[in-house]
Structure 1
Amino acid sequence: MKIMVAEYAVGKGGGKLVAEGKAMLTTLKNGFYELGHEVIYPEAVTDFGVAVDKLSKESDAGVVIAPDDMLCEFTKLLESNTVNLGCSSDSVKICADKKQTIKVLSEGGIQVPRIVSKEEVASEQRYVKKPRYGCASENVFIQKGKDICPTPDHIITEFIDGEDISSSVIIGKFSVLPLTINKQFIRVDGERLRYGGGLVPYSVEQEAESEIMRMSEKVVTLLHCEGYVGIDFILGDDGSAHVVEVNPRPTTSIVGIAKVLNYNVADLILRAKFGSLPMPNEVKTEGSFIFELS
């Protein structure tokens, strides 16, 4: 099988996310190689969309990794030409819209940070300001109410204190397979949040682990996700978890997961689309892996 893996930062040939992009691309590429498949991918191209369109026509299946606000467009190109190994463009469209995601999850009974209107903002209270459409921790700020300048392309949510963690899951036709819970290294640079890597897997209390995995399964069901998905949480000291982001694509955690999991992650992605996934009790990790960004 010929498989296209189109990673945006590598495809464009640079940018501040190129280290993460190259690591994810290499992980998936090597995983598919191990299974005997051919892998093609765009690299340093002028027009990423044109490259996705061309290469997907030459492929039997493919997956796109791109900033959430662009991912829907590229996923539609992929879907028009070959088998999409990831979330559908309809699912991606919802996940990319943070306001809509919060609405769908809240109505489905998932704990999420509440969106705050500008009229509700209190001067000395801390809030999170993030782009309505955007990628992970890019341009996310923690600010006091008096310092917030509301804009139409941002949302303001309540600030939830706790640990930054994520879950990684794979969604097949008939089941959802939890992979790992991961620690995210998020630092505060002034008011801005910056992602610095992570630890895979990350151990939490058994009760919290069960709750995070239960929530993860419900989240991907509500959003009609497929393939590999990463879900970002804030885990409070009391064990309560809030979903703060849903990434409808492979995330940086896949790099560590591939190192510690007793299954080839690329194989699981293919099985999610074309076959059946193993039972959760068959999936195990050994050791840990830290991925740090400079």
Structure 2
Amino acid sequence: MPESLVNEGSLMRDALLRNLAEMNQFEIVTLHDDRLQPPVLAAHSLAVAPGQFNHVFTEALASVELVWLIAPETNGVLLELSELCYASHDKGALFLGCGFDSTLIGTSKTLCFEALQEAKIHTLPVYAGEDLVAGKHEQLNTENISVWVAKPEDGAGCEGIELFDSIDDLTHWIKQDERYLTYLAQPYQAGVAASFCMLCRNGKAWLLSCNEQHITRESNHFSLSGITINGMSAYWQRFETIARKIAKMLPDALGYVGVDVIVDTAHGDKIYVIEINPRLTTSYVGLEQAIDYNPAKLIMDCVLNDKFSMPNLARKQVVIPL
């Protein structure tokens, strides 16, 4: 299990459990990998052996009223579990998450790029690994891009991201072990790594926080060392405009959505949308302290209430070390 994903996933889960416990309305059941300790805040936690998760999860869905996922896009996990939740809806388990289209687009970096382009939202071009192997790298050699990034098509966080100083180095790497089947390439964009958290419902968006991501580079890898919630509040209005465009682009986005961006401070603060995460993100961990409101209650109200309206929220800065 990737250490960074285990750490961030556990932090998100425990923050969500604290918020749900504060509401004092639910009996909480969780599932945990049997290589990890069960969470202390759940009334029941089912230990799951590797390879058995979907089976145990499907059985658990039959006995609950509401289901909330914390899962990465990696290897299609988020999409697969979301589909199990959609299928269980007729049996009474209501999924507190995004619809199929939003989840699919958020899971696929290629589909996300295409959707953002069509919605006229600034993003970075995407080149399929297969195209590079087929000879497109020679054409890209002429585009004067000095640094390239390789990413898994359905990766999460900084996992699996590699940096290269030339398109030739990237192409050589992506040819090995048939990586071109699951990886894509993008030009590296310098700037401030940032994100925002928002609520979505029926094509509408409400901004929750504007965050700075503290990403460190070690050799040709990246790692997330922390997040400052509302560290990018100066960009609130611009992030809110982007949030509303994304909500219109993804009408079945529901509840919490996190969006990763890069702010190019060297060229007029141009904002590039990098990823859309149709799920809880690590920023959730500091959200209650930042907005002075229980975010689980807020998200559930957004999902369950046809007449949802956003209360007045604080915009405090909160640092989450990772």
- Same-fold call, TM > 0.5? yes
Alignment-derived partner of residue 42 in structure 1: 31
Alignment partner of 1:279 is 2:310: yes
Cα distance change on mapping 1:204 and 1:239 into 2, 3 Å: farther
Contact 2:126/2:186 (8 A) holds in 1: yes
**Preserved CA contact (<8 Å) 1:111 1:243:** yes
Alpha-carbon distance in structure 1 between the residues aligned to 2:10 and 2:221: 25
Tell me the equivalent position of 1:106: 117
SS of match in other structure, 1:64: coil
Q: Is the 8 A contact 1:139 1:193 kept in 2?
A: no
After superposition, the Cα gap between the structure-2 partners of 1:16 and 1:161, relative to the gap in structure 1 and judged at 3 Å, is: closer
1:193-221 deviations in Å (ceiling 9; x for gaps): 1122211121343xx32111111221133
Corresponding residue for 1:125?
Answer: 146
What corresponds to 2:79 in structure 1? 72
Give, in whole Å, the separation in 2 of the partners of 1:90 and 1:240. 28
| One-letter identity of the residue aligned with 2:245 | K
In 1: Cα distance, 2:116 partner to 2:202 partner:
21
- Alignment length (residue pairs): 277
- Aligned ranges for residues 2-13 of structure 1 at < 5 Å? none
8 Å CA contact retained: 2:195, 2:258: yes
Deviation of residue 192 (structure 1)? Answer: 1.2
Residue 120 of structure 1, CA deviation: 3.3
1:60 is the counterpart of 2:79: no
Aligned partners of 1:290 and 1:172: how far apart in 2?
28
The answer to whether the 8 A contact 2:203-2:248 is kept is no
User: What residue is the counterpart of 1:183 in the other structure?
Assistant: 212
User: 1:251 — aligned with what?
Assistant: 281
**Which residue in 2 is equivalent to 1:223?**
250
Instruction: Quote the offset at 1:85 in angstroms.
Output: 0.6
Q: Provide TM-score, normalisation by structure 2.
A: 0.80
Q: In 2, Cα distance between the equivalents of 1:278 and 1:264?
A: 15
Look up the SS of the partner of 2:276 in the other structure. strand
Give the aligned residue type for 1:273: V
The CA distance in 1 between the partners of 2:315 and 2:77, in whole Å, is 33
In structure 1, C-alpha distance between the alignment counterparts of 2:313 and 2:170, rounded to whole Å: 45
Partner secondary structure for residue 308 of structure 2: coil
Change (3 A) 1:191 1:174: closer
Q: What secondary structure is seen at the aligned counterpart in 1 of 2:181?
A: coil
Alignment correspondent of 1:3: none
**Normalized against structure 1, the TM-score is what?**
0.88
The Cα shift of 1:15 comes to 4.5
Moved more, 116-125 or 233-242: 116-125
Matched, 1:86 2:97: yes
Residues 184/216 of structure 1: CA separation in 2 closer, same or farther (3 Å cut): same
Structure 1 residue 185: deviation in Å? 1.3
**Contact 2:54–2:81 (CA under 8 A) maintained in structure 1:** yes
Q: What is the CA distance between 1:89 and its match in structure 2?
A: 2.9
Residue number in structure 2 paired with 1:156: 185
Question: 1:6 is matched with which residue?
Answer: none
AA in 2 matched with 1:62: V
Deviation per CA, 1:156-178: give whole Å up to 9, x if none. 11221100000000113474211
The residue identity in structure 2 corresponding to 1:63 is W
Counterpart selection for 2:300 from 249, 270, 273: 270
In structure 2, how many angstroms separate the alpha carbons of the residues matched to 1:251 and 1:196?
Answer: 14
Percent of counterpart pairs with the same letter? 24
> How much does 1:42 deviate?
0.1
The alpha-carbon deviation at position 285 of structure 1 amounts to: 2.7
Q: Which runs of 4 or more aligned residues in structure 1 lie more than 6 Å from their structure 2 counterparts after TM superposition?
A: none
